[in-house]
Structure 1
Amino acid sequence: MKIKVLLFLLSIAFTSNAFASTNEHLNATKMIKTDSLLRHTVFFKFKEGTTPEQIKKVEDAFSALPSKIEQIKGYEWGLNNSPEGLNKGFTHAFFLTFENEEDRAIYLPHPDHKAFGAVLTPYLEDVFVVDYWTQE
């Protein structure tokens, strides 16, 4: 009888430990998601003949978006300077940071984002976009 009680108590202890480990794993997964950032990366290739002044107009218009759209939590941009020659004509890289997919969903159809698109479109030959959650 004592052995049965001891086995029963041990099985409860193991089961409790298994649930605790599962909860810790779930909390760790949520923490990673909370600590991650959503990056929205945009790369531009301008049409041949686009002037430096026209490109500056696009740069300034894009750089104004973070002050107009509160969901943008981080912003940076730069010009390609890779020595590899693999940029396929893409010269500009823009990185926007969002806290979550809901903020990005507000940004995409936002009137100020659409107005930026109207500034960009006449000069744009090609664009590609990659969004990703940051990883450690």
Structure 2
Amino acid sequence: MSDKILFQCDYNEGAHPKVLERLVQTNMEQTPGYSEDKYCEEARKKIRKACGDDSLAVHFLVGGTQTNVTVINAALRKHQGVLCAVTGHINVHETGAVEACGHKVLGLESPDGKITAAQVAETYEAHIHNDSFEHMVQP
């Protein structure tokens, strides 16, 4: 197992050995689907405890693409786009899922797949100082 984390795609890496071990231990258990099982409930309790709020509604999604789309749609207004590296997962590997929901993905050049706070600020400043900013997707 490599110690280097590339953040390219969640399908490029195998599972941690402890995850595989636990899957083998629970493989023959029959549980209800759609996060209604005891393991999801245990995870909800741990998340609520970590957040210090027992009243939190905790829901699980089936994959990264669905999670990204849900969070981006919740965080942005309809006229806003999401910033990411041009090589970012939401720009390359999610088959337009974010844009299909109405938010443009605004790719920023990056030598290492990461964007900086300075890039975010520069992109925002360029937007608000453009004479036709109201006709452009807001970063």
**Fold conserved (TM > 0.5)?**
no
Structure exhibiting the larger radius of gyration computed from Cα positions: 1
More helix by share: 1
TM value normalised by structure 1: 0.26
Using CA pairs below 8 Å that are at least 6 residues apart, which structure has the higher relative contact order?
Answer: 1
Name the structure where strand makes up a greater proportion of residues: 1
